[in-house]
């Protein structure tokens, strides 16, 4: 009897051990799956939350299982939220599954919101439109309320190709004012200039505003001083050339990347002083930065700034190399010591990086 009880007890213990092992294995599998889901969706979840357009991980998991591109849906929701529109992921997903273009749709909705400022009898000028649907929204709204409608890119205010100087300034061959020198740099200034010249043309010809040619030339040549505008492809010094720009998203960096590529033909080495804040598409921007430049990775003096160590790790994954600097001032000092007269130093990645850098060049003698 005693032997029987011992065998029974041993069997129970073995069964309990087996069930315990099974439970542990199931728990481990569950935890692996759980953390895999967290890892897959965390970056997108965090980006949406920081942009104040939160999307739950369960929602993203559901979209993934339904083979809906959840990053596209989330990014489109973020775009809408930044424009003040509250559009749910369910609405965007339904539109996508119905075969619609959710980006096109949201841009059109944003355009419709902005088109509300168009008033009867007041000329409406559209500078540029990313999509035909955006153009149609503004044009239709103008016709609906009885406002004259103009599209700058079709008004032929610039007659030939614009010229870019080595120093980063533009010369625009305007139809009405001859060659105009622009103080601001960047590829985007070509389209901006077309829009400004179109607006001036409408003010003069349609509204009778007297704008003399000298005022137009003066405005373009000294826009920073006249408006207090800072950090828009602004040249801070020469020999070496130091330029800063506040571009901090993919759209802005698509233009900046092209501009840096053009300047690469005229300068020696390019040095990049860059840092970003946590709630931006950091990987998207880093993918557009030049790989043949030397980088001074840094961080701005604000809480939102991404720690320089984390930023540098991300940058290195995109093939960018350089050194780490705790502050923008430290990065500027090191870059100026290293650069030769014909080199280019670019400062940017964030408005806050530029804000930390600008005061340093107000005392330029310290860096000569």
- Lowest-confidence pick of 57-61, 148-152, 165-169, 262-266: 165-169
Whether residue 78 contacts residue 51, with contact meaning beta carbons closer than 8 Å, is answered with yes
Q: Can you read off the two tokens belonging to residue 53?
A: 């357009």
Q: Treating both helix axes as pointing N-terminal to C-terminal, what angle do 70-82 and 102-114 enclose, rounded to 10 degrees? A: 0
Q: Which whole number is the average pLDDT over 312-340?
A: 94
Highest mean pLDDT out of 49-58, 210-219, 223-232, 356-365: 210-219
Average pLDDT, whole number, for the chain? 85
Q: Which pLDDT does position 258 carry in this prediction?
A: 84
pLDDT in tens, 240-260: 999 999 888 887 888 888 888
Q: Which pLDDT does position 287 carry in this prediction?
A: 92
Q: Which whole number is the average pLDDT over 213-219?
A: 93
Q: Would the pLDDT of 15 be above 50?
A: yes
What pLDDT band is residue 368 in, cutting at 50, 70 and 90?
very low
Q: Can you read off the two tokens belonging to residue 144?
A: 């609906």
Instruction: Report which of residues 123 and 50 the model is more confident about.
Output: 123
Length of the chain: 368
Q: How far is C-alpha 116 from the geometric centre of its chain's CA atoms?
A: 26
Q: Which pLDDT does position 114 carry in this prediction?
A: 78
Entry pTM: 0.61
Closest CA to 277 of 71, 51, 56: 51
State what percent of residues in the chain have pLDDT above 70.
Answer: 90
Q: Can you read off the two tokens belonging to residue 211?
A: 């704008």
Q: Which pLDDT does position 97 carry in this prediction?
A: 86
Q: Would the pLDDT of 326 be above 90?
A: yes
Whether residue 193 contacts residue 180, with contact meaning beta carbons closer than 8 Å, is answered with yes
**Residue 295 and residue 293: Cα distance in Å, rounded?**
6
Can you give 67-126 as a three-state secondary structure string? CCCHHHHHHHHHHHHHCCCCCCHHHHHHHHHCCCCHHHHHHHHHHHHHHHHCCCCCCEEE
Q: Which pLDDT does position 112 carry in this prediction?
A: 76
Q: Which pLDDT does position 244 carry in this prediction?
A: 92
Q: Which whole number is the average pLDDT over 159-175?
A: 80
Instruction: Report which of residues 166 and 6 the model is more confident about.
Output: 166
Q: Which whole number is the average pLDDT over 222-231?
A: 79
Q: Would the pLDDT of 115 be above 80?
A: no
Residue 237 is inside which H or E element, if any? Answer: strand 234-237
Instruction: Report which of residues 107 and 269 the model is more confident about.
Output: 269
Q: Can you read off the two tokens belonging to residue 51?
A: 């942009």
**Residue 346 and residue 272: Cα distance in Å, rounded?**
5
Q: Which pLDDT does position 366 carry in this prediction?
A: 43
Q: Which whole number is the average pLDDT over 343-355?
A: 94
Q: Which whole number is the average pLDDT over 77-92?
A: 85
Residues 6+ apart with CB under 8 A from 331: 273, 296, 297, 298, 325
- Lowest-confidence pick of 226-230, 292-296, 331-335: 226-230
- Lowest-confidence pick of 223-227, 283-287, 343-347: 223-227
Q: Can you read off the two tokens belonging to residue 105?
A: 């749709």
In the beta sheet, which residues pair with residue 181? 171
Whether residue 340 contacts residue 235, with contact meaning beta carbons closer than 8 Å, is answered with no
Q: Which pLDDT does position 159 carry in this prediction?
A: 84
Cα radius of gyration (the chain): 28
Q: Would the pLDDT of 9 be above 60?
A: no
pLDDT in tens, 116-134: 888 999 999 999 887 888 8
**Residue 300 and residue 274: Cα distance in Å, rounded?**
9
**Residue 12 and residue 8: Cα distance in Å, rounded?**
6
Highest mean pLDDT out of 19-33, 188-202, 244-258: 188-202
Q: Can you read off the two tokens belonging to residue 26?
A: 């199931």
Closest CA to 155 of 194, 196, 208, 188: 194
What pLDDT band is residue 168 in, cutting at 50, 70 and 90?
low
DSSP string covering 154-220: GS--B-S--EE-TTS-EEEEETTTEEEEES--STHHHHHHHHHHHHHHHHHHTT-----HHHHHHHH
């Amino acid at each position: 009897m005693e032997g029987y009880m011992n065998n029974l007890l041993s069997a129970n213990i073995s069964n309990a051990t087996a069930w315990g092992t099974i439970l542990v294995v199931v728990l481990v599998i569950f935890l692996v799956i759980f953390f895999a889901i967290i890892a897959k969706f965390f970056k997108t979840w965090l980006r949406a939350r920081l942009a104040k357009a939160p999307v739950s991980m369960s929602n993203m998991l559901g979209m993934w299982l339904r083979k809906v591109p959840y990053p596209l849906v989330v990014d489109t929701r973020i775009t809408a939220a930044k424009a003040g529109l509250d559009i749910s992921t369910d609405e965007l997903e339904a539109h996508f599954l119905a075969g619609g273009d959710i980006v096109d749709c949201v841009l059109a909705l944003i355009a419709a919101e902005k088109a509300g400022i168009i008033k009867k009898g007041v000329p409406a000028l559209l500078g540029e439109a990313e999509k035909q649907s955006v153009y149609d929204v503004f044009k239709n709204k103008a016709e609906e309320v009885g406002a004259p409608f103009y599209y700058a890119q079709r008004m032929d205010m610039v007659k030939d190709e614009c010229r870019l100087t080595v120093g980063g300034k533009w010369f625009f061959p305007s139809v009405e004012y001859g060659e105009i020198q622009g103080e601001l740099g960047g590829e985007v200034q070509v389209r901006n200039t077309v829009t400004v010249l179109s607006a001036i043309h409408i003010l003069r010809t349609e509204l009778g505003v007297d704008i003399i040619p000298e005022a137009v030339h003066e405005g373009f040549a000294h826009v920073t001083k006249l408006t207090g505008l800072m950090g828009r492809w602004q040249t801070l010094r020469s020999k070496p050339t130091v330029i800063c720009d506040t571009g901090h998203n993919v759209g802005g960096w698509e233009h900046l990347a092209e501009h840096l590529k053009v300047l690469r033909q005229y300068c020696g080495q390019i040095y990049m002083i860059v840092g970003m804040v946590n709630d931006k598409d950091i990987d998207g921007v880093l993918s557009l930065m030049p790989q043949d430049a030397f980088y001074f990775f840094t961080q701005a003096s604000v809480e939102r700034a991404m720690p320089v160590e984390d930023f540098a790790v991300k940058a290195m994954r995109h093939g960018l190399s350089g050194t780490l600097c705790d502050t923008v001032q430290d990065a500027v000092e090191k870059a100026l010591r290293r650069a030769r007269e014909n080199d280019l130093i670019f400062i940017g990645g964030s408005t806050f990086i530029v804000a930390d850098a600008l005061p340093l060049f107000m005392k330029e003698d310290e860096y000569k």
